[in-house]
Amino acid sequence: MNRRAILIVVALIASGVLIAWLYSLKPVRLGASHVMQIITRAHLSLPYAPPPPPEQWQPMSAADRLANVRSRLLPKLHDELAAKQLKLGQPAFIRIFKESREFELWLQSSEGWQLFRNYPIAVFSGTLGPKTREGDMQAPEGFYSVTKSLLNPASSYHLSFNIGYPNAYDLAHQRTGSLIMVHGNKVSIGCFAMTDPLIEEIYLIVEAALNNTSTVPVHVFPFRMTDERLQEESSSPHLDFWQNLRPAHDLFEKDHLVPKITVENGRYQAK
């Protein structure tokens, strides 16, 4: 092995050690996660022609935008779904994990709920914890639903859909704010930005699901709700709220059944 190769190996090992150390430090875990997401984001390559540049896209009508996306994606999207024994129009379910910037898109086939793809979230604003008021620049946490009326193909951020914040729980706790979206681009003010290429695939799948079902549930968690991770947050002011989110998280982890969420006496109930 020559000197250059040795230096490259040493640098890669050092980078891995540094990232592992950053993740061990609670105050910078979110920052380290963001660095890792930037590093790994390029590895999700979708097999479609790229979107038009913004100067061509923005003047398009909503109908023209959707026609453009379908012409570029649908022939191959059907193949992508079929490779996992899935198809367009099946019920959809979204889970978001803020700390690791993961956006899971599940579809329900005759075999049950199947994970179609785990997308990296390009950007969300704020930190771990719920959104509580208008203008706090915070992405929410909790249980939401997308309906057909919340789809926005005329978005200033390529394509978007509203997740339905505030929900009944938020209103019971006098939380304010609105227009929390999943959208394209790489900027966020309380929303979840997925980049233009990724939102196109997500949008078409959510739209197709809503042609056959009334809602697409969206469950937003701060992190994977394990005993160990919650123990690390034992002094957090959000701990009680996060513990209230956990039953729904665990029900799906255990049985891969999307729980029914209600709000009773200001608390989430998952069944």
* Mean pLDDT estimate for the chain: 88
According to DSSP, the β-strands at 192-193 and 181-183 are: parallel
For the segment 59-85, the average pLDDT, to the nearest whole number, is: 97
| Beta-sheet strand order (sheet of 216-221) | 112-120, 102-109, 92-97, 216-221, 142-146
183 flagged as catalytic? yes
The pLDDT of residue 219 is above 70:
yes
Q: Which of 262, 223, 260 is nearest to 243 (CA)?
A: 223
Distance from CA of residue 232 to its chain's centroid?
Answer: 23
d(CA 190, CA 137): 5
pLDDT at 4: 54
Angle at alpha carbon of residue 161, lines to 129 and 75, rounded to 5°: 125
- The two tokens of residue 114 are 């199947």
5-43: per-residue pLDDT in tens?
554 444 445 444 444 444 444 444 444 444 333 433 446
Annotation says 219 is catalytic? no
Pairing assessment for the beta strands 216-221 and 142-146 based on DSSP bridges = antiparallel
Residues 154-171 as b/e (b if ≥16 CB within 10 A, e otherwise) read ebebbbbbbbbbbbebbe
Q: Is 162 helix (H, G, I), strand (E, B) or coil?
A: strand
- Domain 44-270: assigned CATH number: 2.40.440.10
pTM of model > 0.75: yes
Q: What torsion do the CA atoms of 24, 25, 26, 31 make, to the nearest 10 degrees?
A: -100
DSSP letters of 22-53? HHH-GGGHHHHHHHHHHHHHTT---SSPPPPP
**Contact, 139 vs 131, CB < 8 A?**
yes
Q: Which of 34, 43, 158, 183 is catalytic?
A: 183
What pLDDT score does 243 carry?
A: 98
Instruction: State residue 3's pLDDT score.
Output: 57
**Sign of CA pseudo-dihedral 161, 246, 125, 184:** negative
Per the structure block, which two tokens stand in for 69?
């996306």
Phi and psi at residue 194, to the nearest 5° = -110, -5
pLDDT, average across residues 104-113? 96
With tokens 């999207």, the residue in question is 77
pLDDT for 16 equals: 47
Length of the chain: 271
Distance, first Cα to last Cα, the chain: 59
* Cβ(96)–Cβ(217) below 8 Å: no
Distance CA 267, CA 37 (A): 33
Q: What is the mean pLDDT of residues 254-258?
A: 95
Token output for 221 = 């968690």
Q: State the Cα–Cα distance between residues 194 and 227, nearest whole angstrom.
A: 29
Where residue 85 falls (left for φ over 0; alpha for ψ -120 to 50; beta otherwise) is left
Would you say 233 and 227 are in contact if contact means Cβ atoms under 8 Å apart?
Answer: no
**Upper half-sphere CA count for residue 201 (Cβ side, 13 Å):** 27
More confident residue, 3 or 137: 137
Q: What is the tens place of the pLDDT at every residue in 117-151?
A: 999 999 998 999 999 999 999 999 999 999 999 99
Q: Which one from 34, 43, 173, 191 is the annotated catalytic residue?
A: 191
* Average pLDDT for 109-123: 96
pLDDT at 128: 97
